[in-house]
Structure 1
Amino acid sequence: MAQSDTVVRILDTAEALFAEKGFAETSLRTITGKAKVNLAAVNYHFGSKKALIQAVFARYLDPFCEQFNRELDRLEKQPGLTLEELLTVLATTTVSVPASKGSLSVFMRLLGLAYTQAQGHMRRYLQEHYGKTFFRFTNLLKQCTSELPDAERFWRIHFMLGAVVFTMSSLDALRDIAASDYDEKTRIRDLVARLLPVVTAAMNAPVPEQPPRLSEQVA
């Protein structure tokens, strides 16, 4: 087997196992056994389990950021950019980038795990390698939601991401439910069309009245 094929086999296997079992629960030995390669091959091509996890993410995020940055170049020059237009570009870019051998739902599951499991190195890696793209996006988002306080915008961005990650990572199950209960066949483009107005409305919702701080309650 050629070297490139070995790398692809390791990445495909690691991606599937990480999504199924989690990062901490998946050992290199499990990956090598499933991929039918020896441990030396993983160490040679990646050096460590942390580097392998990062490489799994890079397969999707590198082409995504390349394409999304081109879109951001255009949007930053567009006068009167609306929130709906910005989120539409984000959604269409997300679903248009091939997710390697796995599906977009598998990658979204991995993205959720990177933030919910104790993977500090992964959050640092995402910030170091893709933080500039995220900053460009959030800067445009801030322009489109200028009435929101910064802290409120922070929470809403993560509420929005949580909704997207959950929905996309549960895509197969949601499709099955829609087909069984509503006799509906759901394509990704249909899902995006339904999800966009929901997250747009959530970002545009009135700011709720803030409860008094604990120190004020005690006083």
Structure 2
Amino acid sequence: MGRPAHFSTKDRILGAAEELFAQHGFAGTSLRQVTSLAAVNIAAVNYHFGSKENLVNEVFRRRMDEMTAQRLQQLEAALRDHPGELEPVLAAFIEPALALAQDRNGGASFVRVIARAYAEHNESLRKFLSDHYGHVLREFGKALSACLPGLDKETLYWRLDFLAGALTYAMSDFGLIKRPAGASEATHRARAARELIRFAAAGLQTPAK
């Protein structure tokens, strides 16, 4: 099924690639499948992206740039309005990611793409994400360190790594807690964020031995 004509060619290719990567993984998706679903020819993919590797990177960039901007904006507000408070910093890290997962325009597909990235150990993608978004973790690490002066840097980064894993799991909505029948997605997401923030705060505040 092709993409609606009002989307740009580049957007149609990215949307098709995201959908196929979610279903079949990176290695299991061919450019021919992408061009077929996006209703474009291979020349369009080569023109906009140059290679399959770059197409993978751009699928991430399309989602991550917006989430990163929201995280850093919320972090800046947390540091300004709630200096020294842990939970507002955690909210800045967690809430934009859960909002992305609930995005009706392919958010669920992108979460599955993230899971594929973990499963396939794509080193090229890992380097791309580290180069472009590593600074975000460092900014949060710095902010969390200021809230947790008794925690050494190595322990802090272990715990931040665990938080990132728990957040990815929460984004997938694959766990034991399902959205109650009467609750809206926004209400369920807010509850998930609140519970994860409390959980993370308790873990981060545990004294290092």
Name the TM-score class by shorter chain: 0.7 to 0.9
Task: Compute the TM-score of the two structures, normalised by the length of structure 1.
Answer: 0.78
Residue 199 of structure 2 is matched in structure 1 by: 198
Hey, what's the Cα distance between the residues in 2 that align with 1:148 and 1:54? 34
How do residues 1-219 of structure 1 correspond to structure 2 at under 5 angstroms?
5-77=8-80, 80-96=83-99, 99=103, 101-103=105-107, 105-169=108-172, 171=173, 173-174=174-175, 178=178, 185=183, 187-207=188-208
Hey, what's the Cα distance between the residues in 1 that align with 2:12 and 2:207? 49
Q: CA deviation at 1:159?
A: 1.0
Hey, what's the Cα distance between the residues in 1 that align with 2:35 and 2:19? 13
Q: Is the 8 A contact 1:109 1:165 kept in 2?
A: no
Secondary structure at 2:83's aligned position in 1? Answer: coil
What letter matches 1:139 in structure 2?
K
Q: CA RMSD in A?
A: 2.8
Task: Compute the TM-score of the two structures, normalised by the length of structure 2.
Answer: 0.82
Hey, what's the Cα distance between the residues in 1 that align with 2:182 and 2:156? 35
Q: Rg larger in 1 or in 2?
A: 1
Hey, what's the Cα distance between the residues in 2 that align with 1:195 and 1:75? 17
Hey, what's the Cα distance between the residues in 2 that align with 1:192 and 1:79? 18
Q: CA deviation at 1:117?
A: 1.9
After superposition, what is the alpha-carbon deviation per residue over 1:51-102, rounded to whole angstroms, capped at 9, x for unaligned?
1111111111112222322233334445632221101122233344585820
Unaligned stretches of 5+ in structure 2? none
Q: Is the 8 A contact 2:82 2:88 kept in 1?
A: no
Secondary structure at 1:178's aligned position in 2? Answer: coil
CA 1:178 to 1:101, structure 2 compared with 1: closer, same or farther past 3 Å? Answer: closer
- The worse-fitting range, judged by mean Cα deviation, of 153-162 and 111-120 is 111-120
After superposition, what is the alpha-carbon deviation per residue over 1:14-46, rounded to whole angstroms, capped at 9, x for unaligned?
111112221122121221222222222111111
What letter matches 1:42 in structure 2?
V
Hey, what's the Cα distance between the residues in 1 that align with 2:30 and 2:21? 9
Hey, what's the Cα distance between the residues in 2 that align with 1:70 and 1:36? 37
What letter matches 2:138 in structure 1?
F
- The worse-fitting range, judged by mean Cα deviation, of 183-192 and 132-141 is 183-192
Q: Is the 8 A contact 2:84 2:147 kept in 1?
A: yes
Q: Is the 8 A contact 1:10 1:35 kept in 2?
A: yes
Unaligned stretches of 5+ in structure 1? 210-219
Q: Is the 8 A contact 2:169 2:175 kept in 1?
A: no
